[in-house]
């Protein structure tokens, strides 16, 4: 504090002086708490109160005590939507035109949310709120999520005072990659001990709130609660899935009809709403074999159990607030970040890493896994027929700007501040509208600056006007959409959509607003055709032209350009790295594991791993370096006094090379050399085969062949750790002894990758996008 800020008096002695204490910033006595719940990949038609076939009694209770919105929209992808929810600006204004793993060097796409777009946490922190973030983040540049930072894009760098969750796009529910504030932590328990991430997150949110309230009960909180559910992996204790045994045997076609009936009955869609047309990518249920139907129905049972289990954890948080006497004066906003996900493909998957590495899954193998789906041994996802049903009554899904990707559930509850309860609101609302609504309800003006940084204008429109008047004319009358050049625009009850298959080249005709007859633009009068069932572009060319021209105007205003429909090239776009490119990477024990985006890349190239260790008298055992998870990767470790190298090929097969002699005591270099002996064929799920040689110092002590390696990725939840296997163990050899820490001394482990690498960017792009 400077002398100028002191309002007391300083004399020569204490007796001649008057003390003065600075007044802390405090919210008003009636200020509500704010709880934002963001679900992941939950479609418009999946929650019970939106006609879904899973039970979600706690979210339904929120709806009964508050308002449901039937016309809420997102960006159709996770991180971009979340940036909108927290800033009140469009995703391209936030430099989040896509997820950060596919960033490009343009203002709307570079993946760094600018600090002039302040987060709601930063605003409310200045207003005397406690601010907590729990769960999925995925708003920091991918290359900045390791221990090297920088940390200004992490939750604590954007106004949250406490954080517990995972920084990436998804994580394993039983062995998550957890961050507490600005450092990694291990899960507090194991799957065998009953651990599940969503339960952990709910308990942590309760602890954060309780810690603050017991000291200053009048201080309101803003809690951003984001479970990883229901993003893949669909993992849940078996009893939750078994509850739905047989409930989805009717298949996705019949499910869509049943969901629509429920939606009309509940009033979340208008009377007369039709199902959108048959999705050409989805096989009709009655054309599937009995085994396919049995497997796919079970996959949906697991998802339904996962969703209900998630709802139960939301319920625990709500019950706790009720016990504190805080629920009545808590503004709860519950949303999903995009439509249901189709990343399980047409047949679903028991381990997405096989899909991402183009390794085919056989029906027979997946049927054998069926009884364990949802458990810790599988990273499963349902087939996209259930995605389509989950987005009833709309067409398409996540990543696409038809309503199936961009129209999502939203429930708002504030018993002390909203008189209406159990009602539906149909006005158009977008994710950018949440921040200005919260600020209006709290009587807080958007600040001119935050931490000395001048702030950009809020781009959303408050929807508080809808609370008391269900028939109020909507105020957010125009909104653009764009994702991978898949475009849409809404204006006054009309919606134009331009589908865009990934990887297609953009032609001059596609960009012209004067040759619409030859374009792929579609037009829907959504004021009358809620589900986008009828394309009326041919009947209203003038209206279509008006909307397309509006899209271009909005695109220029909000940094949407340049349009980029690329997939392969966009992935390999040069972008900042967490360090200078190098041929040797040195790792040390006892530190944090390294996230996949920041770890050394060894796939499809000759390389070596050298561990400089000291073996004590009597020997040692444990992991020297592990990279990957049970879904694929490698581990160099010592067991039974011998050096081992284990290679896990997408969880299907393990190859082990073992030294022929005992590891000597004392200082020794334990080395593995991999010599690539063939070409990789990623399209066929084949990485470069090779020969592995093991050495103690310069003495060769073992050799073996690895006929099949991972061609594209170690996996979604992979990480690299030195001195232990920090996450989901790579090899079954020591899975019961996780983390199998090394009992000797490791000076360093050096990975040399001076050999040429083979990159398959298109397949890698598919992997990265599925993390969204």
| pLDDT for position 757 | 46
For residue 355, the surrounding DSSP H or E stretch is helix 352-356
When mean pLDDT is compared across 136-140, 145-149, 338-342, 730-734, the lowest value belongs to 145-149
Give me the torsion for CA of 347, 352, 353, 358, rounded to 10°. 30
Which range of 305-309, 364-368, 599-603 scores highest in mean pLDDT? It is 305-309
Q: What is the pLDDT of residue 756?
A: 56
Mean per-residue pLDDT, 405-415: 98
| Distance, CA of 507 to CA of 81 (rounded, Å) | 28
Q: Confidence class of residue 767 from pLDDT cuts 50, 70 and 90?
A: very low
| Full-model pTM | 0.94
Range of weakest confidence among 72-86, 279-293, 589-603, 617-631 = 589-603
Q: For residue 4, what pLDDT is reported? A: 62
* Burial (Cβ within 10 Å: 0-12, 13-18, ≥19) of residue 286: exposed
Give pLDDT tens digits for 125-170: 999 999 999 999 999 998 899 999 999 999 999 999 999 999 999 9
pLDDT digits (tens, 9 = 90+) for 602-650: 999 999 999 999 999 999 999 999 999 999 999 999 999 999 999 999 9
pLDDT higher at 103 or 394:
394
Is it the case that residue 765 has pLDDT exceeding 60?
no
Confidence of residue 762 (pLDDT cuts 50, 70, 90): very low
Residue 265 has pLDDT above 70, yes or no: yes
Q: Taking Cα atoms as reference points, which of 458, 443, 454, 463 lies closest to residue 127?
A: 443
Q: Give me the residues paired with residue 721 across strands.
A: 626
Categorize the per-residue pLDDT at 555 as very low, low, confident or very high, splitting at 50, 70 and 90: very high
C-alpha pair distances (Å), 125 with each of 81, 164, 240, 365, 387:
22, 18, 38, 52, 38
CA distance between the termini of the chain: 45
Is pLDDT of 571 > 70? no
Res 763: pLDDT: 42
Residue 760: per-residue pLDDT? 39
**Does 230 sit behind a cis peptide bond, omega within 30 degrees of 0 on the bond before it?**
yes
Which residues, in sequence order, are CB contacts of 676 under 8 Å at separation 6+?
604, 605, 606, 688, 689, 690, 755
* Band (772; pLDDT cuts 50, 70, 90): low
Phi, psi of 369 (to 5 degrees): -85, -10
Mean predicted confidence (pLDDT) in 430-441:
98
Phi, psi of 637 (to 5 degrees): -150, 170
Per-residue pLDDT for 501 more than 70? Answer: no
Backbone phi, psi, residue 3, to 5°: -60, -35
Tell me which of 684 and 57 has the higher pLDDT: 57
Crossing angle for the helix pair 197-213 and 290-324, nearest 10 degrees? 10
Q: What is the pLDDT of residue 727?
A: 80
The pLDDT tens digits of the residues spanning 88-127 come to 999 999 999 998 878 889 999 999 999 999 999 999 999 9
Tokens at 600, concatenated: 């050394």
Which residues is 612 bridged to in the sheet? 669, 748
The whole-number pLDDT of residue 684 equals 86
d(CA 611, CA 695): 10
Task: Give the whole-number percent of the chain exceeding pLDDT 70.
Answer: 93
| Residue range 203-219, pLDDT digits in tens | 999 999 999 999 999 99
Candidate from 151-160, 594-603, 671-680 with smallest mean pLDDT: 594-603
CA-wise closest residue to 85 among 335, 329, 260, 274: 335
Section 341-361 average pLDDT: 87
Q: Maximum distance among all alpha carbons in the chain? A: 93
354 — pLDDT class (breaks 50, 70, 90): confident
DSSP for 44-73, written as a single string? TTTSGGGT-SS--HHHHHHHHTSEEEEEEE
**pLDDT the model gives residue 357:** 83
* Band of pLDDT at residue 190, cut at 50, 70 and 90: very high
Average pLDDT on 19-41 reads 95
Q: Which of 627, 643, 607, 622 is nearest to 727 (CA)?
A: 627
Query: For residue 19, is pLDDT > 70?
Result: yes
Question: Quick one: pLDDT at residue 100?
Answer: 84
In this prediction, residue 497 carries a pLDDT of 97
pLDDT at 655 over 70: yes
Q: Work out the pLDDT band at 769, boundaries 50, 70, 90.
A: low
pLDDT of residue 661: 97
Give the tens place of pLDDT for each residue, 231-246: 999 999 999 999 999 9
Report the chain's mean pLDDT, rounded to a whole number: 93
- Pairwise CA distance, residues 430 & 434, whole Å: 8
pLDDT grade for 565, boundaries at 50, 70 and 90 = confident
């Amino acid at each position: 504090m400077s002398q100028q800020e002191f309002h007391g008096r300083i004399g020569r002695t204490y007796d001649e002086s008057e003390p003065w204490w600075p007044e802390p910033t405090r919210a008003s006595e009636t200020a509500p708490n704010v709880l934002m719940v963001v679900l992941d990949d939950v479609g418009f038609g999946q929650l019970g109160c939106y006609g879904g076939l899973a039970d979600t009694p706690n979210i339904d209770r929120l709806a009964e005590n508050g308002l449901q919105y039937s016309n809420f929209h997102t960006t159709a992808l996770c991180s971009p939507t979340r940036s909108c929810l927290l800033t009140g600006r469009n995703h391209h204004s936030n430099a989040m035109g896509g997820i950060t793993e596919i960033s490009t060097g343009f203002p709307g796409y570079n993946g760094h949310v600018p600090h002039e777009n302040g987060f709601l946490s930063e605003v409310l922190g200045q207003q005397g709120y406690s601010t907590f973030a729990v769960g999925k983040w995925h708003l920091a540049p991918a290359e900045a999520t390791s221990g090297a930072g920088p940390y200004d894009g992490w939750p604590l760098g954007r106004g949250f005072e406490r954080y517990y969750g995972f920084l990436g796009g998804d994580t394993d529910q039983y062995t998550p990659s957890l961050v507490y504030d600005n450092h990694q932590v291990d899960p507090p328990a194991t799957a065998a001990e009953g651990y599940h991430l969503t339960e952990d997150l709910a308990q942590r949110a309760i602890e954060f709130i309780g810690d603050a309230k017991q000291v200053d009960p009048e201080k309101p909180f803003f809690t951003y609660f984001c479970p990883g559910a229901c993003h893949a992996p669909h993992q849940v204790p078996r009893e939750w899935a078994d509850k739905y045994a047989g409930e989805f045997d009717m298949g996705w076609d019949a499910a869509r009809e049943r969901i629509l009936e429920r939606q009309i009955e509940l009033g979340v869609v208008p009377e007369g709403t039709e199902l959108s047309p048959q999705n050409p990518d989805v096989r009709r249920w009655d054309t599937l074999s009995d085994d396919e139907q049995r497997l796919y129905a079970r996959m949906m049972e697991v998802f339904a159990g996962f969703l209900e289990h998630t709802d139960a954890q939301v319920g625990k948080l709500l019950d706790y607030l009720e016990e504190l006497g805080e629920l009545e004066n808590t503004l709860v906003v519950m949303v999903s970040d995009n439509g249901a996900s189709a990343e399980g493909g047409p047949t679903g998957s028991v381990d997405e890493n096989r899909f991402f590495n183009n390794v085919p899954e056989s029906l027979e193998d997946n049927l054998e896994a069926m009884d364990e789906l949802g458990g810790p041994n599988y990273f499963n996802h349902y087939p996209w027929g259930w995605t389509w049903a989950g987005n009833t009554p709309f067409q398409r899904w996540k990543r696409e700007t038809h309503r199936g990707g961009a129209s999502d559930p939203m429930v708002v509850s504030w018993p002390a501040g909203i008189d209406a309860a159990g009602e539906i609101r149909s006005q158009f609302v977008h994710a950018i509208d949440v921040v200005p609504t919260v600020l209006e309800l709290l009587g807080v003006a958007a600040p001119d600056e935050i931490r000395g940084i001048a702030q950009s204008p809020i781009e959303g429109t408050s929807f508080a006007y809808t609370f008391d008047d269900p028939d109020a004319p909507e105020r957010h009358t125009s909104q653009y959409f764009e994702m991978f050049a898949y475009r849409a625009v809404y204006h006054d009850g009309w919606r134009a959509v331009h589908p865009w298959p990934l990887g297609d080249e953009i032609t001059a005709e596609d960009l012209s607003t004067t040759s619409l007859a030859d374009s792929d633009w579609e037009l829907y009068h959504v004021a009358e055709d809620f589900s986008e069932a009828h394309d009326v572009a041919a009947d209203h060319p003038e209206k279509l032209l008006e909307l397309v021209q509006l899209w271009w105007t909005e695109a220029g205003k909000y940094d949407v350009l340049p349009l980029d429909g690329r997939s392969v090239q966009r992935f390999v776009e040069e972008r900042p790295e967490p360090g200078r490119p190098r041929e040797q990477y040195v790792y040390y024990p006892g530190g944090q594991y390294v996230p996949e985006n920041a770890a050394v890349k060894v796939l499809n190239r000759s390389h070596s791993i050298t561990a400089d260790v000291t073996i004590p008298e009597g020997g040692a055992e444990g992991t020297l370096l592990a990279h990957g998870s049970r879904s694929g990767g490698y581990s160099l470790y010592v067991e039974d006094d011998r050096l081992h190298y284990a290679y896990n090929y997408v969880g299907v097969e393990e190859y082990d090379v073992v030294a022929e002699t005992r590891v000597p005591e004392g200082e020794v270099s334990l080395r593995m050399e991999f010599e690539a002996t063939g070409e990789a064929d990623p399209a066929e799920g084949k990485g470069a085969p090779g020969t592995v040689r093991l050495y103690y110092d310069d003495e060769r002590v073992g050799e073996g062949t690895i006929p099949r390696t991972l061609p594209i990725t170690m996996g979604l939840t992979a990480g690299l750790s030195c001195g232990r296997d920090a996450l989901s163990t790579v090899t079954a050899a020591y899975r019961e002894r996780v983390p199998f820490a090394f009992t000797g001394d490791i000076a360093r482990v050096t990975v040399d990758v001076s050999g040429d690498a083979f990159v398959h960017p298109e397949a890698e792009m598919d992997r990265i996008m599925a993390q969204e």
